[in-house]
Structures are given as C-alpha cells and as structure tokens.
C-alpha cells in the first residue's frame, strides 16, 4: 500500500522547498488571540476598506435568484460595465477571483520551469509566491532608498530567460507610484510588463490607456480595496487583446462566482457612495500621516495609497507591533533586509486613527 512517505516523494521538490505566503488573519481569529471582542478589534493590517461595500451590493446579493446556476464564463455583463468604468473596450478586459488569480494566470501563461520573473522588493508577496508555484525563478531587483525602482539594474538583469516583470503602482508596502516615464522605459524591453494598480482609486494615476498601444503591457486592478469587496474576491485586468484570448482559454471556466459578479456590477452602479468612501480614506490618510509624523521616533513615508509605511527609529517595531496587538489594534510588521523595523498601517476611520495614536503614545 502506498504510504504518506511515498506521497511525499511524489510532491514537486521545488514546492516543498518554497516559502509559504504569510496571509493576514480574519477578525474572529485575531479577537480570539487577544481575548478582545471581535467588534472591538481595529484591523489595520490588510488594506481593506473600513466603510464596507455599498448597501446596494448587500441588497442585490440578497435579491439574486441565480445562485443555483453557473455564472457567465465570459463575464460579459461585468466586462461591459468595466468598459464604462475604465473607458477601455471590454475586448481588453478579463476578470478574476481577485487580482491574485490574475497574477497566477499571467504567470501560468508565460512561465515554464527555468524562466525568470523580475520583482522589485519591498513589494507585494504574491509575485514571488505565484512564480514559485509555476516553477519559475524570481530575480529580485531591490528598490532604491526612496522606494523608486532601479531601472538601470532591471534592464541589466533582463536576459533570455526573463519573461515578466511586476511593478505595483502604488507599491505595497511603500505607497509610492512609478512614473509613466519609467514604465515607458520598461515597455521598450522585450518582456511582459505588469503594472499592478490594486490601489489606483487612491492614487488616481494609471497607465491603462497605454495597453492598446503596447503589446507587452498589462494593468491589474481589484475591487478589494476601494469597493470593499475583499471577501468576495473580484479583480480585473486590462490586457493586450491577444493575451485575453489565451487567458480566457486557460482560466477556470467559472472563475468569478455569481456573488462576486453581482457585487462588482452593483458597486459600479453606486459610484457616488464609493467615491465618498474613497475620498474619506484619502482625507484620513493625510490626517494620519500628519499625526504619525509628529512622533519623533517614527519615519513616515508619503503614500498615494490606503496605507502608510513607517520605520521605527528606536528599533522597537516588534514591541510596538505586539503592544498595539494587545490593545486590539492590528498592523503589519516587517523585518526584512529592505524593511528593517517597519510597520505598515492601513487607513481606517478617523476613530481608528485616534485610537492608534493614543496607543502609540502609551506604548512608547
């Protein structure tokens, strides 16, 4: 009889060796960790939208009569609505189960074992994760001290194995954007350039209109952040038309479930509410930045996103992270070569910022 050890031997060795992604925990689990009621938890670790989704989304989800049927595999209604939202023809658009799925699909389309993918750390961890799962190799070209990307080093690193580069703009966790000029320089190379605009609605800066002019440019977006739909998993990409054809072919047929499609469609119908929450988050980001900058033991980085990166100058980031946790405030802690003693704090409601600042003053 085959044993668990035999099965272990069948598993791809590179997957055994790969580093697991560190996801964030849901509020109920966080509240159990610290024995604080769930409703008291202040969750500033996932760049989620503290105002939640539109009330119209909740109503449409309650009213939907089609959960027993498979969703439209071609996502026609959603892609048409996205055409209106983006101003780009639906022929260029494909939706995914979160932009995470689209990152994975792009890599599955281009990466064979031995191929390489460039990322620019510190950045979003899913680029490495999905490259590893596809059997590709990640070539990391670290960002400069101001978190801008090192274009000359990237160009030098490109060789025949290089297929794809990922640039998050705004970047997670640094919050800065990459200029159109820099992206144009990268587009002149022979590789696929993925600009991940997960936080576009908070920066207002996009290169999406360039997709129809460059056959190697992809722009990824999500409903997780601005629309408050992180739990429903819906993102989309703007791709050169010939890539849409192949992505449509290799994706799971019903990759965006009915609830996600209904919620995304309804969000796009309630832009006045959602623009209000985006503006509230942007205003609060600027207020939080001012408040955090008043703490002389923090270095605060400007952000065009819905989170703020801070480096803790007294070396106590871990203690502060833990101290905040004990008070029910969850933020993201980093201690990597590029992010020594750093905290990334999502922008919440004004009362969350006030609680955060009070807690930081008490801890330090």
Ligand X SMILES: Cc1ncc(COP(=O)(O)O)c(C=O)c1O
Q: Which stretch binds ligand X (CB under 6 A): 30-38, 95-103, 149-157, 286-294?
A: 95-103
Per-position x/- string for 258-277, each x denoting binding to ligand X as judged by CB under 6 A, each - no binding? --------------------
Q: Which residue of 98, 237, 328, 348 would you call a contact of ligand X, by CB under 6 A?
A: 98
Size of the site for ligand X (CB under 6 A): 13
**Closest to ligand X by CB, 101 or 341:** 101
Q: Are 344 and 307 in contact (CB under 8 A)?
A: yes
Strand partners, 221: 236
Q: Which residue of 122, 235, 237, 348 would you call a contact of ligand X, by CB under 6 A?
A: 235
Per-position x/- string for 179-198, each x denoting binding to ligand X as judged by CB under 6 A, each - no binding? -----------------x-x
Under the criterion CB under 6 A, does residue 86 sit at the interface with ligand X? no
Angle of helix 350-363 relative to helix 317-326, nearest 10 degrees, comes to 120
At its nearest, how many Å lie between ligand X and the CB of residue 146? Answer: 18
- How many other C-beta atoms can be found within 10 angstroms of the C-beta atom of residue 19? 9
Under the criterion CB under 6 A, does residue 175 sit at the interface with ligand X? no
C-alpha to C-alpha distances, 123 to 19, 116, 157, 175, nearest whole angstrom = 16, 17, 18, 10
**Closest to ligand X by CB, 117 or 359:** 117
At its nearest, how many Å lie between ligand X and the CB of residue 130? Answer: 11
C-alpha to C-alpha distances, 268 to 63, 84, 89, 166, 272, nearest whole angstrom = 17, 9, 16, 27, 9
**Closest to ligand X by CB, 233 or 327:** 233
**Closest to ligand X by CB, 98 or 122:** 98
Q: Are 174 and 309 in contact (CB under 8 A)?
A: yes
Q: Which residue of 92, 110, 124, 239 would you call a contact of ligand X, by CB under 6 A?
A: 124
For residues 185 and 151, what is the distance between their CA atoms, to the nearest angstrom?
8
Q: Which of residues 41-70 bind ligand X (CB under 6 A)?
A: 47
Backbone angles phi, psi at 41, to 5 degrees: -70, 135
At its nearest, how many Å lie between ligand X and the CB of residue 224? Answer: 3
**Closest to ligand X by CB, 120 or 300:** 120
Residue with nearest beta carbon to ligand X: 98
| Alpha carbon 29 to its chain's center | 22
Q: Which helix (H) or strand (E) holds 151?
A: helix 151-157
Question: Quick one: CA torsion of 182, 184, 185, 186, rounded to 10 degrees?
Answer: 90
At its nearest, how many Å lie between ligand X and the CB of residue 222? Answer: 3
**Closest to ligand X by CB, 193 or 360:** 193
Q: Which stretch binds ligand X (CB under 6 A): 97-105, 136-144, 252-260, 286-294?
A: 97-105
Report cis status (omega within 30 of 0) of the bond before 110.
no
**Closest to ligand X by CB, 111 or 198:** 198
What stretches of 38-146 adopt beta strand conformation (E)? 42-43, 93-96, 116-119, 137-140
DSSP code string of 76-92: HHHHHHHHHHHSS-GGG
Q: Which of residues 205-234 bind ligand X (CB under 6 A)?
A: 222, 224, 230
Under the criterion CB under 6 A, does residue 168 sit at the interface with ligand X? yes
At its nearest, how many Å lie between ligand X and the CB of residue 199? Answer: 7
**Closest to ligand X by CB, 227 or 310:** 227
Pairing of strands 342-346, 307-312: antiparallel
**Closest to ligand X by CB, 97 or 216:** 97
Under the criterion CB under 6 A, does residue 100 sit at the interface with ligand X? yes
Strand partners, 219: 195, 238
Q: Which helix (H) or strand (E) holds 342?
A: strand 342-346
Under the criterion CB under 6 A, does residue 99 sit at the interface with ligand X? yes
**Chain residues in the site for ligand X (CB under 6 A):** 47, 98-100, 124, 168, 172, 196, 198, 222, 224, 230, 235
């Amino acid at each position: 009889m085959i044993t668990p050890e035999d099965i272990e031997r069948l598993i791809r060795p590179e997957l055994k060796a790969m580093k697991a992604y560190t996801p964030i925990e849901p509020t109920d689990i966080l509240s159990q960790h610290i024995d604080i009621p769930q409703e008291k938890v202040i969750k500033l670790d996932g760049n989620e939208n503290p105002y939640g989704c539109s009330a119209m989304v909740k109503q449409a989800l309650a009213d939907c009569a089609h959960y027993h049927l498979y969703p439209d595999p071609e996502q026609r209604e959603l892609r048409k609505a996205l055409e209106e939202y983006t101003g780009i023809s639906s022929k260029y658009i494909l939706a995914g189960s979160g932009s995470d799925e689209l990152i994975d699909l792009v890599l599955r389309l281009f990466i064979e074992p031995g191929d390489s993918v460039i990322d620019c750390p510190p950045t979003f961890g899913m680029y490495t994760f999905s490259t590893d799962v596809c059997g590709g190799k990640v070539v990391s070209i670290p960002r400069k001290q101001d978190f801008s990307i090192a274009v000359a080093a990237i160009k030098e690193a490109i060789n025949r194995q290089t297929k794809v580069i990922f640039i998050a703009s705004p970047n997670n966790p640094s919050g800065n954007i990459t200029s159109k000029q820099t992206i144009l320089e990268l587009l002149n190379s022979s590789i696929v350039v993925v600009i991940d605009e997960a936080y576009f609605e908070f920066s207002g800066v996009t290169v999406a209109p360039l997709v129809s002019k460059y056959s190697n440019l992809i722009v990824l977006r999500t409903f997780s952040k601005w629309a408050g739909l992180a739990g429903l998993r819906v993102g989309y990409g703007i791709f050169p038309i010939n890539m849409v054809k192949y992505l449509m072919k290799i994706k799971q047929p019903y990759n965006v479930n009915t609830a996600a499609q209904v919620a995304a469609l309804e969000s796009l119908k309630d832009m006045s509410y959602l623009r209000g929450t985006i503006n509230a988050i942007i205003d609060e980001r600027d207020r939080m930045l001012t408040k955090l900058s008043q703490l002389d033991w923090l270095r605060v980085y400007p952000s065009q996103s819905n989170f703020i990166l801070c480096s803790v100058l007294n070396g106590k980031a871990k203690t502060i992270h833990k101290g905040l946790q004990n008070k029910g405030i969850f933020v993201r802690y980093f201690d990597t070569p590029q992010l020594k003693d750093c905290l990334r704090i999502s922008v919440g409601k004004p009362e969350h910022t006030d609680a955060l600042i009070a807690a930081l003053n008490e801890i330090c």
